[in-house]
Structure 1
């Protein structure tokens, strides 16, 4: 750090009022400016003013308050204190997420249905009480909820996996997502990705487009594709030839995109495979159609080197307890590297 060239002037980059306004819509609170005293293309040195935290500096210099963990990691985990000089990474810290004692993984959880009743009616249904207990655990343990767009940044743009990151996904598009899960996601400000198959939307037990629009506009919920009809995207016995199979895949992928464009004004770029089934042909079809990520329901680790079209997810069942859940979201694998 001592070899960093001194900047020509002490740079006051962003006032506290502007910084807070960029982070949220609350009335701005005046705070000290962010003062950069030296830097190069990779790192800046910042003199901390009273009241400044890593989130403030990350918002000002990285345009992302959630990147505060990278500042903490680069500064050996020590707390931000006024009067000290900290290093701010202007490039991703450890984009491989591999460390001397192990590596980070990205837990992706998969939910389906919810109920306000005290007991679930089947294993893919989760009570509101159980879901809230899981969300509370994640918030109290300072997990960062990532969208699939942020997962794409990790896998396609060389961003590191954040400390204590988790991805919540909900498949199919049942109405209970809006009636039961959505109020809890708002309460805990937990981001989630809802994967819908468009032929189901508007049916008796399903979400409708108005509800999907409401959730999408919130900024908390990302709506993505689960196909058109929930038909498996692996080859089926009725696919009489490779060409017939390819045509069916294309109909599933493009058919759902047309509905998204019509009702949500945007085409999906991520997909969860119905039943978790995929194939090389399905992956190639998604790539050609412009999809960036696709997820299975095969449990396993997601690393920075994972195949973006075969992401692992952990299914959440009614019988899972909190010990199970804590294990599912453990995002660091200890494996000393030599």
Structure 2
């Protein structure tokens, strides 16, 4: 087994972005936690390239994990994905996976159908983020299958290619959701549990690294390398938030989050 100084043996860092916004007046849906400033995103891309890492789509990265691969992913389908992220990626010859909530397509601040086609035509990955962004574990079986299948079918029609990956809305889901997605042909399920994806497994969701608005470059580098204190703090934050989610339930937790923000 070879050891890579940046990504480590058999590691696959998957970065999770949402929107790219200068401030709350920017086009799109600004989030005070997850909206990354475009200039900071550019610096992060430049750092990735300077380390000799290669941004890959999921299928390629899963085959070449440990070979300096990194996956860049976006959730929801904010219009900044095509207006800001796409030009920066193309300028550097980089790729990303875009997980789109199909019920948001055409809504204010979100991607249009033509913009989804534009991402696909540019060689970017297109994946599902459900139809309505409902938390899948809260749905009955019929509604779950509809969320998974309807979103996949629409995205396949827009992108004219198979859609084989889904990012679970809110990162919420377990064995039932995994089995349901696999029964429909999904090959990759992505959650929001932070981690380095040390082993390729088909019985669990892939881990991701949430890139937030106030994340400094040193902490960004530590997350991608999965070294130092930053990864442990991210895991501790995720663990701390899991308690109110269990106590309040998904809807109660989201209401609390909105009040706090």
Provide TM-score, normalisation by structure 1. Answer: 0.61
2:189 match: 294
Partner of 1:87: none
1:168-210 CA-partner distances (Å, limit 9, x unpaired): 0000000011111111111111210000010001111100111
Question: In structure 2, how many angstroms separate the alpha carbons of the residues matched to 1:225 and 1:277?
Answer: 14
TM-score normalized with structure 2 length: 0.78
Q: Does 2:132 correspond to 1:229?
A: yes
1:139-176 CA-partner distances (Å, limit 9, x unpaired)? 1111111101213xx3xxxx442432211000000001
Residue of structure 2 aligned with 1:280, choices 167, 172, 175: 175
Q: Give the match's secondary structure for 2:72.
A: strand
- Which residue of the partner structure matches residue 187 of structure 1? 91
Measured at CA, do residues 226 and 308 of structure 1 come closer, stay the same or move farther in structure 2, by a change above 3 Å? Answer: farther
Higher relative contact order, structure no. (Cα contacts within 8 Å, ≥ 6 residues apart): 2
- Say if 1:144 and 1:165, in contact at 8 Å, map to a contact too: yes
Corresponding residue number in structure 1 for 2:42? 132
Where does residue 210 of structure 1 map in the other structure?
Answer: 114
User: Who wins on radius of gyration, i.e. which is larger?
Assistant: 1
Trace 1:146-295 onto structure 2 (pairs within 5 A): 146-151=56-61, 154=62, 159-219=63-123, 221-234=124-137, 236=138, 245-295=140-190
Tell me whether 1:114 sits opposite 2:17 in the alignment.
no
Alpha-carbon distance between aligned partners in 1 of 2:19 and 2:85, rounded to the nearest angstrom: 9
More strand by share: 1
Q: How many residues align?
A: 221
Distance 2:3 2:183 in 1: 31
CA deviation string 1:81-121 (max 9, x = no partner): xxxxxxxxxxxxx5xx679xx73311101000112459976
| Aligned 8 A contact 2:116 2:158 in 1 | no
Q: 1:329 is matched with which residue: 215, 224, 246?
A: 224
SS at match of 1:122: coil
SS at match of 1:166: strand
Tell me the distance in 2 between the aligned counterparts of 1:109 and 1:135: 11
* Structure having the larger proportion of residues in helix: 2
Alignment RMSD: 2.3
The aligned counterpart of 1:313 is 208
Q: Assess if the C-alpha contact under 8 Å between 2:101 and 2:132 holds in 1.
A: yes
Quote the Cα distance in structure 1 between the aligned partners of 2:174 and 2:193: 14
Quote the Cα distance in structure 2 between the aligned partners of 1:142 and 1:284.
36
SS, match of residue 81 in structure 2: helix
